[in-house]
Amino acid sequence: MTEQQGKLRVALIQGNITLGNPEANHAHMQMLLERAVEQYPDLKVAVLPEMWNTGYALTQIHELADPEGQTSRAWLSAFAKKHGLSIVGGSIAEKRDGQIYNTMYVYNEAGEEVSRYDKLHLFRLMDEEKYLEPGAQPEMFELGSGLTAGASICYDIRFPELARTLALSGARALIVPAEWPNPRLHHWRTLLTARAIENQMYVIACNRVGKGGDTEFFGHSLIIDPWGEIVAEGGEGEEIVTGMIRPALVDEVRGRIPVFEDRRPSIYFGGK
Ligand SMILES: NC(=O)CCC(=O)C(=O)O
């Protein structure tokens, strides 16, 4: 199936990350992305995992974070342009105005930067709030030709308000780079599936594999359709997880059960 037939091939770059080694991680992600474009000539969208440049090397993050994201951004933009695909660059540790952010950059097939999103909800169990600055606003962008998507990084999926705000603003897919560790596979699958079903949108989630210090990451990257069915799911090792998505399915599902027409915002949270 091709984009002309209304479908887009998406690949999740479910890679390992070396703790605190941006050069090694850059080279490794490049190798995996090259493998993805070689194996799937019809690839239109690639998604990387969270904090792929440094992992959670938070105690050294001021030395390791990419200043203004310059190195990562130049590479992602050039790769997107060379191969004519949209790239959601997972997220990187970025140093900006003396602060560190967990930041997602998105590129279109011309290599243009179309979005920057700073993770909104910082995860205390991994000490993010001690080292990172939270973002201030949700973000949406276009992927491929005509798929409006919203950004969500890892822990953000525990906050249904964010996905709902994005859906109400026009998002038809939620893109989720993650470093989601053992032993919370049940939460990962359930929360992602719930975000897909309740918002009747695609959920496209790329988790890392391997170990970061004592923390193990289980992969299981997922593409879930707006009816809650799993289109593709990774195993626990390094792999390119790929599947076809059909944006028109969002309208079909929203027509089948008209959740957005039946909402009663005037009675929620005192009408706010
Ligand atoms: N990197 C993260 O935000 C991890 C979130 C997580 O593991 C969770 O259970 O939530």
Residue-wise pLDDT tens digits, 17-45 = 999 999 999 999 999 999 999 999 999 99
- Domains, the chain: 8-254 (3.60.110.10)
Which residues' Cβ are closer than 6 Å to ligand 1? 50, 123, 126, 154-155, 158, 179-181, 184, 187
- Report CA(151)–ligand 1 centroid distance (Å): 15
Residue 243, pLDDT > 70, answer yes
- Report CA(123)–ligand 1 centroid distance (Å): 6
Residue 97, pLDDT > 70, answer yes
Ligand 1 atom closest to the Cα of residue 122 is 3
Tens-digit pLDDT profile for residues 101-123: 999 999 999 999 999 999 999 99
Looking at residue 210, its pLDDT comes to: 98
Ligand 1 atom closest to the Cα of residue 187 is 9
Residue 4, pLDDT > 70, answer no
Q: Which two tokens stand for residue 188?
A: 């990962």
Residue 269, pLDDT > 90, answer no
Q: Which residue's CA is minimally distant from atom 3 of ligand 1?
A: 155
Asked if 123 and 158 touch (Cβ cutoff 8 Å), the reply is no
- Report CA(41)–ligand 1 centroid distance (Å): 33
Looking at residue 272, its pLDDT comes to: 60
Q: Which residue's CA is minimally distant from atom 7 of ligand 1?
A: 180
Residue 36 CA, distance from chain mean position: 17
Tell whether the torsion through CA atoms of 106, 112, 114 and 119 is positive or negative. positive
Ligand 1 atom closest to the Cα of residue 157 is 10
Looking at residue 145, its pLDDT comes to: 72
Which residue shows structure tokens 């590479």? 75
Looking at residue 72, its pLDDT comes to: 98
Tens-digit pLDDT profile for residues 81-96: 999 999 999 999 999 9
Residue 270, pLDDT > 90, answer no
Looking at residue 2, its pLDDT comes to: 47
Average pLDDT over residues 243-251: 97
Among 87-101, 137-151, 178-192, where is mean pLDDT lowest? 137-151
Tens-digit pLDDT profile for residues 121-142: 999 999 999 999 999 999 999 9
pTM assigned to the model? 0.97
- Report CA(250)–ligand 1 centroid distance (Å): 27
The pick from 179, 190, 215 for probing ligand 1's pocket by mutation, whose C-beta has the most ligand atoms within 8 angstroms, reads 179
Active site residues: 50, 119, 154
Tens-digit pLDDT profile for residues 195-240: 999 999 999 999 999 999 999 999 999 999 999 999 999 999 999 9
